[in-house]
Structure 1
Amino acid sequence: MLGAQHLFIGWALALSAAIWLGMVVFWLESLLVRIDGLQLLLLPAAALASGLAALFPQGQFVPHAEDPWLRAHLLIALAAYGLITIAALHAMMMALLDRHLHRPLDAPAQRSIIGRVLDSQPPLLVQEQLLFRIIWIGFVVLTLAVGSGSVASMKLTGKVLPFDHKTVFTLLSWLTFGVLLAGRHIWGWRGRVALRWTLTGFGFLILAYTGSRFVLEMILHRG
């Protein structure tokens, strides 16, 4: 993605890099909290993302690749995207675990492979604390991405932020996570409310980047 004189961006490559960053975060978290069971779900997701990058190598070279602000902005934005992607995957896994815990308890021998994997997961309270730590870090990095993007846009186009779908959906994602963190601090939001807000914010970020790149590269064949 980052060559000496170029920047190459593709939706599958960006997703793979984002998942890699998220796995690094969970590895660092595992040094503090025992979350071994999460690897049974996260590692297959990481393998799938890597496979997608190999199957769909399409992308485009970004103009003004020599500009240091643009390169810094893309790195920060990718880091924010990776953290929020992992937060969304974690939220979906927590929702699945919550449903699993409310089902009638079967005998161990009768449980499916998925049920046994879910049985090995850390407690929901521990996972919720981990989720909000990731969201906090992701929100800070996303704020830096918006700020660095404003500087890069001013240098290259003379506008603070271009009024396009990417900017609109990025700001909606930033606002969604800001409201979620405020709700957590003020009203103690947790559980399914927090999961819904997390997935909504992630959906906006998907529409801001990956969705548009997928449409352009795979459907309209513009790259």
Structure 2
Amino acid sequence: MHTYFFVLAALLYALCAFLPSQQRVPISAGTAAAWLLHGGALWADMAGPGSLRIGFAIMLSATLWISVGAYWLENRNLSLDGLRVLVLPCAALAVILPVLFPGSVVPLEGRTALFPWHVAIAILAYSTLTIAAFHAVLMAVQESRLHAHTGAAQGGWLAMAIDRLPALLTMERLLFRLIAFGFALLTLTVLSGIVFSEELFGTPIKWDHKTVFTMLSWILFGALLTGRVWRGWRGKTALRFTLTGFATLLLAYVGSRFVLEVVLHRGLA
């Protein structure tokens, strides 16, 4: 049953991604329906009696689910049609990944009751910074078109969507708002991870690849926010830090889990 919901959500996402931008009401309604289907199927797939299913595909799917929700809410106040053509196709692919790569079942017996909250905060952090990365890509394309003085007709439907975005300064304010919120959640993830690492491994931090990449990403986003306040960082500097921090964070969990589950065929480590 979950599979049917995942596939239906993927089809709706794909349809909404390529509808003409003038169809705002059908796009909004279709995206909301796909988001609800995606979330319901994902929850039913992740949460079992006394257990939690975790894997790179589930984490990526959950990340895009929250990213779509953030896009949908933002788009009600601002015209972010260019973000739609980036987020929704990615969501259409991510929503069916748990069907192909189901991940591992983690028993909750013997674990602290706060463990599911640690997982939820981590997913929220990944998701917020994912939407920030999409936002940064969109800003880079938008800035490139401004400098190139390219007409909408020359760039096709994607160019027309880009040209409908708010001004770059408005986009930049939204970007830093997303990064600040995501950084706060990532800080909570790191702190709670230290607590659970001490429970599981008897040491405050287990210095594996996941920890190293997560800490590196935390440092990059922290440096960006500090540079923004003290040095007025913006433009290409902000975009480079955002995309580098996101790529590092992606490697911290999704990339490492992909190698373990798909390449090495190992369960949860």
TM-score (norm. length: structure 1): 0.90
Instruction: Give runs of aligned pairs for residues 1-223 of structure 1, distance below 5 A.
Output: 1-31=46-76, 33-37=77-81, 38-54=83-99, 56-62=100-106, 64=108, 66-106=111-151, 108-223=152-267
AA at the equivalent of 1:167: T
Q: What CA distance in whole angstroms lies between the structure 2 residues aligned with 1:109 and 1:151?
A: 55
Q: What CA distance in whole angstroms lies between the structure 1 residues aligned with 2:155 and 2:137?
A: 21
After TM superposition, the structure 1 stretch with the greater mean CA deviation from structure 2, 13-22 or 37-46, is: 37-46
Deviations 1:58-106 (A, max 9, x none): 3112355543232221111111111111111111121122112222333
- When residues 27 and 112 of structure 1 are mapped into structure 2, their CA distance, relative to the original with a 3 A threshold, is closer
Secondary structure of the residue aligned to 1:170 is helix
AA at the equivalent of 1:126: T
AA at the equivalent of 1:70: F
Q: What residue ranges of structure 2 are gaps of 5+ in the alignment?
A: 1-45
Assess if the C-alpha contact under 8 Å between 1:174 and 1:201 holds in 2.
Answer: yes
Q: What CA distance in whole angstroms lies between the structure 1 residues aligned with 2:155 and 2:202?
A: 60
Assess if the C-alpha contact under 8 Å between 2:132 and 2:179 holds in 1.
Answer: yes
Secondary structure of the residue aligned to 1:8 is strand
Aligned Cα root-mean-square deviation (Å): 1.9
Deviations 1:146-201 (A, max 9, x none): 11111122223321111111111111111110000000001110111000001111
Q: What CA distance in whole angstroms lies between the structure 2 residues aligned with 1:104 and 1:122?
A: 17
Q: What CA distance in whole angstroms lies between the structure 1 residues aligned with 2:246 and 2:153?
A: 37
Q: What CA distance in whole angstroms lies between the structure 2 residues aligned with 1:218 and 1:35?
A: 39
Assess if the C-alpha contact under 8 Å between 2:128 and 2:181 holds in 1.
Answer: yes
Assess if the C-alpha contact under 8 Å between 2:197 and 2:204 holds in 1.
Answer: yes
Aligned residues: 220
Assess if the C-alpha contact under 8 Å between 2:79 and 2:164 holds in 1.
Answer: no
Cα offset, 1:110, TM superposition? 4.0
Q: What residue ranges of structure 1 are gaps of 5+ in the alignment?
A: none
Q: What CA distance in whole angstroms lies between the structure 1 residues aligned with 2:175 and 2:209?
A: 28
AA at the equivalent of 2:241: W
Query: Which structure would you say has the larger RCO, counting Cα contacts within 8 Å and 6 or more residues apart?
Result: 1
After TM superposition, the structure 1 stretch with the greater mean CA deviation from structure 2, 160-169 or 38-47, is: 38-47
Identical counterparts, % of pairs: 49
